[in-house]
C-alpha cells in the first residue's frame, strides 16, 4: 500500500498552485493536497484525524503574513502541543508519539527587495507569483487584447499609491496580485491563469519557487 503525504494549504488558489508544483516535481503520486481554511479547526482538525497513524506524513504550507519563520514555527508548535507533546526534529519538523511526522513550509518572500519596494508587508502564496512575474514579464499579457506589459513592477509602483488612497493599506501580496490580475484582465479561475503562467516552466530553477520546491521534496520524499 502506497502511503501518500497529506499536504495542507489554505485556500483553493493555493491548492491549484501546489498541485501544479508537485506535478512538475513528479511528486503528485506521492501526496494529496487538501485545503484547511474552510474547516472548523483548520489544519489542527486535519492533523488530529491523522494523529494515531504511525506512517502519516503531514505537510503544512502556511502564509507567513507578517511573521518570520521562527515565530511561525513557534506558533505552529504551540498549536501541535494542544494535541499532544511533540518531538522537535528540526525548527520546521516534528514527530508525534505514534510516529506520524509534521512538516511546516512557511509561504512568502519577506526578504525580497522587489516586494518590499511595493510596500508588501503581509506575505502569502501570491508573493511567489509576483516574484515569478517580475522575473518573467513576458508572461504579463493582457487576456483580451494580447498587449504585453513589459515592466509590471514599475506599473504597480505607479498604480498602487493611487489605489491605496482609496483602499488602504493594500500591503498584502494577495491584494497586490489581485490588482495586477485586474490590470491584465485575467478572468476565470486560478487553474486557468496559473496554467498559463507556468506552462513549460521548470519550477525548481525559478527563484520564486526554488525554496518551496526544495522543502516540498524534503517533506514528501522518504
pTM: 0.96
Percent of the chain at pLDDT above 90?
95
8 Å CB contact between 203 and 10: no
Separation of alpha carbons 41 and 36, rounded Å: 8
As a whole number of angstroms, the distance between CA 15 and CA 28 comes to 12
Cell of 87: 518531538
Class of domain 5-108+209-220: alpha beta
Kindly report the average pLDDT of the chain as a whole number: 95
pLDDT, tens only, 117-136: 999 999 999 999 999 999 99
108: left (phi over 0), alpha (psi -120 to 50) or beta: left
C-alpha cell read off for 32? 494529496
| Alpha carbons 27 and 169: distance in angstroms, whole number | 38
Q: What's the pLDDT band for 2 if we cut at 50, 70, 90? A: low
Rounded to an integer, what distance in angstroms lies between the CA atom of residue 57 and that of residue 100? Answer: 6
Domain boundaries defined on the chain: 5-108+209-220, 113-200
Report whether pLDDT(22) > 60.
Answer: yes
Instruction: Provide CB contacts within 8 A for 159, sequence distance 6+.
Output: 179, 183
The pLDDT-based confidence of 3 (bands split at 50, 70, 90) is confident
Express each pLDDT in 56-99 by its tens digit.
999 999 999 999 999 999 999 999 999 999 999 999 999 999 99
Amino acid at each position: 500500500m502506497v502511503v501518500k503525504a497529506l499536504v495542507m494549504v489554505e485556500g483553493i488558489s493555493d491548492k491549484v498552485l501546489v498541485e501544479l508544483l508537485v506535478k512538475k516535481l513528479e511528486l503528485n503520486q506521492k501526496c494529496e493536497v487538501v485545503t484547511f481554511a474552510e474547516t472548523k479547526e483548520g489544519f489542527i482538525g486535519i492533523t488530529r484525524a491523522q494523529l494515531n497513524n504511525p506512517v502519516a506524513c503531514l505537510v503544512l504550507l502556511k502564509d507567513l503574513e507578517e511573521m518570520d519563520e521562527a515565530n511561525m514555527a513557534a506558533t505552529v508548535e504551540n498549536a501541535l502541543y494542544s494535541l499532544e507533546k511533540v518531538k522537535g526534529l528540526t525548527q520546521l519538523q516534528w514527530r508525534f508519539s505514534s510516529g506520524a511526522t509534521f512538516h511546516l513550509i512557511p509561504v512568502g518572500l519577506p526578504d525580497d527587495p522587489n516586494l518590499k519596494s511595493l510596500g508588501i508587508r503581509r506575505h502569502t502564496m501570491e508573493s511567489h507569483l509576483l516574484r515569478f512575474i517580475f522575473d518573467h514579464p513576458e508572461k504579463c499579457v493582457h487576456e483580451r487584447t494580447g498587449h504585453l506589459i513589459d515592466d509590471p513592477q514599475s506599473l504597480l509602483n505607479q498604480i498602487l499609491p493611487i489605489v491605496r488612497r482609496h483602499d488602504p493599506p493594500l500591503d498584502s501580496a494577495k491584494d497586490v496580485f489581485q490588482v495586477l490580475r485586474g490590470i491584465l484582465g485575467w478572468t476565470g479561475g486560478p487553474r486557468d491563469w496559473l496554467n498559463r503562467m507556468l506552462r513549460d516552466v521548470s519550477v525548481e530553477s525559478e527563484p520564486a519557487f526554488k525554496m518551496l520546491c526544495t522543502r516540498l521534496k524534503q517533506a514528501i520524499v522518504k
